[in-house]
Amino acid sequence: MNSNALRFNACIERAEFSLEASLTVEPGEIVAVIGPNGAGKSTLLRSISGLVPLTNGSIEIGGVTVDDPARGILSAPEARRVGVVFQDYLLFPHMSVADNIAFGPRAAGVGRRHARELAADWITRLSLTGLADRKPSELSGGQSQRVALARALACDPAVLLLDEPLAALDAGTRIDVRAELREHLASIGIPTLLVTHDPLDALVLAERIVVLEQGRITQEGLALDVARRPATTYVARLLGLNLLPGQADDGHVTLTAGGELHTAQRNVSGAVLVAVRPDAISIHTSPPSGSARNVWRGTVEGVEPIGDRVRVTAAGPPTVMADVTAASVIELQLERGTQVWLSTKATELEVYPAGGTAPQ
């Protein structure tokens, strides 16, 4: 445990919404909070930055308690050492890049000249050389993001918060900027919490993932574990996985929604989740004769192109998503209502105990 960690252990009650979570981010650690819209991600960030007060619990930043209603502590945003990279960046439109970055130091009472030197330093560190006198409206999305990062870091914060840092970018520049951001974040050395609804952002940028749904943490773990073993259908769907709850007994899983599956894992029993990738499920229009252990009948409910594949949703039980090639959609004449056989190998199924978070 480090006294410079970000510690959030609190509850926020709103009219139609409550957020209750416990979360610690160590210095140098990058944690991504993912969750659907309205899950409370922004509220979490706003409460840490001091824009939303807690109902109860406490927040500790850099060894200082900044919010604790029971002890009557509530620091104003400007009194907290929090750097925030906002969604849309919110660069001050009437100030140059240099003035934006120097704003924090100036507000902290640093002299004009020294603040400009600090800004110049950050401009170099974040490869913004030559852009010092530009206005935010003259910057590209990636440049804006680096200015926002520089502006947040120039205040020497004890924790860095990023709210959907890539959401404002178009798909093309996103990949590059994501890689850049990863590089910059790696060297910061303070607790870094980023909020996103894009699983790829979370997987690329963060070591640890926290899944927030309806104001509660539903899963927490290393990025790879969460990706491989999602705990809720939300995460599974987000990652493009089929997630089927059921009861396991000696390599045989009776699914809660109906149907059963054979798995290669005999060592798990009781309530389990079965995860299977959509491309591990095959579709046939006649009973398959292959080696697949699991075969069941289904009705095509939806056919939708995703990249170079086509995602077919078939009602079972079990109801699953299967990815096939466009050629096989034509060959098998798949459309809504088509009766099909679905199959998957026992070895393609990942079975793990349900409930609780993935092991760390």
- Rounded to whole angstroms, the Cα distance separating 298 from 316 reads 4
Q: Name the amino acid, one letter, at 146.
A: R
CA pair distance 203, 200, nearest whole angstrom: 5
The nearer residue to other proteins, 110 or 203, going by C-beta atoms, is 110
First to last CA, the chain: 16
**Parallel, antiparallel, or unpaired: how do β-strands 159-163 and 192-196 relate?**
parallel
Count of Cβ atoms closer than 10 Å to residue 92 Cβ: 12
For the CB of residue 126, give the shortest distance to other proteins in the complex, in Å: 16
The CB-of-164 to other proteins minimum distance in angstroms stands at 13
At residue 150, what is the residue type?
A: A
As measured in angstroms, the least distance from the Cβ of 329 to other proteins is 43
Partners of 243 in the β-ladder: 275
DSSP per-residue string spanning 160-171: EEEESTTTTS-H
Beta bridge partners, 260, equal 254
For residue 212, the minimal CB distance to other proteins (Å) is: 21
Residues that bind other proteins (CB under 8 A): 49-51, 76-80, 82-84, 86, 88, 90, 92-94, 103-104, 107-108, 151-152, 155
Q: Judged by CB, which is closer to other proteins: 101, or 283? A: 101
Amino acid identity, position 275: A
Burial call 99-111: b when 16+ CB within 10 Å, e when fewer: bbbbbbbbeeebe
124 in helix, strand or coil? Answer: helix
In the bound state with other proteins, the residue whose beta carbon lies nearer, of 83 and 259, is 83
Other beta carbons within 10 Å of 10 = 23
CA distances from 201 to 1, 81, 173 (A): 27, 25, 13
Q: How far is the CB of 217 from other proteins (least distance, A)?
A: 24
Closer CB to other proteins, residue 158 or residue 354? 158
Q: Which is nearer to other proteins, 137 or 286 (CB)?
A: 137
Q: How far is the CB of 61 from other proteins (least distance, A)?
A: 12
Question: Between residues 48 and 244, which has the closer beta carbon with respect to other proteins?
Answer: 48
Comparison of 70 and 76: residue with beta carbon closer to other proteins: 76
Distance CA 282, CA 274 (A): 17
State in angstroms the smallest separation of the CB of 171 from other proteins: 25
